[in-house]
Amino acid sequence: MKINTNKAALLISAVRKEQYPATGMPEVAFIGRSNVGKSSMINKILNRKNFARVSQKPGKTVTINFYNIDDKLMLVDLPGYGYAQASHGERKKMTEIIGGYLSERRQLLQVILLVDCRHKPSVDDKDMAQAIKASGGQLVVFATKSDKLGKMALEKNLDMLIEELNLEDGDILIPFSTQSNEGAENFWDYIYDFIMEEEDE
């Protein structure tokens, strides 16, 4: 079952369970630190420039954005975590919003973790990776901003991510850049091979 990415729309921006869209579509959620590139990745895989709003300041996205793709798949942009300048109250609210969605959304088939390939994963990144694995889901990590590194440096940092995130056989690590199509193609290969195939069964 092919997906027409030209048929995409923001369905709703939600902060509470009652606001989640009542659809039976499979959902793939993007999670990562503030400013890691979640919105930019969504724009790239949909071949749009300004479809998902890219914040110029970390920590500004405080809603869960549900994107309907061709009435077949929902892409879910979760708020970024780990913004150091956020207040204790703001961080608590963010944790509740993210945790509520991850624990209660039945049609959530995959959480995709985004990490910046230029830096070591944060404690929050490592905790999220382990939480995804503990939930029984496959750990899928996209290493963003890969165009910022040369080939040798990128290979070295990908090895570092494998070690730091404790990636094992069956886990997936994919470099991603908005400057090339390779990462976007790899994303859709994963969706068709694992997500939509599961829905068709």
Domain at 29, CATH number: 3.40.50.300
Summarised one tens digit per residue, pLDDT across range 108-149 is 999 999 999 999 999 999 999 999 998 887 899 999 999 999
> Sorting pLDDT into bands at 50, 70 and 90, what band is 86?
low
Residue of 73 and 136 predicted with greater confidence: 73
Instruction: Calculate what percentage of the chain has a pLDDT beyond 90.
Output: 63
Establish if 2 belongs to a structural domain.
no
Establish if 151 belongs to a structural domain.
yes
Alpha helices in 25-181 (DSSP H): 38-45, 88-104, 123-134, 151-164
What is the predicted pLDDT for the residue at 84? Answer: 55
Q: Exposed (0-12), middle (13-18) or buried (19+): which is 144, by Cβ within 10 Å?
A: buried
Q: What is the CA radius of gyration of the chain?
A: 16
Establish if 3 belongs to a structural domain.
no
Residue of 77 and 182 predicted with greater confidence: 77
> Sorting pLDDT into bands at 50, 70 and 90, what band is 63?
confident
Establish if 1 belongs to a structural domain.
no
Full strand arrangement of the beta sheet holding 73-77: 8-14, 64-69, 73-77, 27-32, 108-116, 140-144, 172-175
The pTM of this model reads 0.91
Measured on CA atoms in the order 156, 158, 161, 166, is the torsion positive or negative?
Answer: negative
Residue with tokens 């509520």: 100
Establish if 121 belongs to a structural domain.
yes
What is the predicted pLDDT for the residue at 82? Answer: 74
Structural domain count of the chain: 1
What is the predicted pLDDT for the residue at 121? Answer: 96
Q: What gap in Å lies between CA 166 and CA 108, rounded to an integer? A: 23
**Owning domain of residue 28:** 8-200
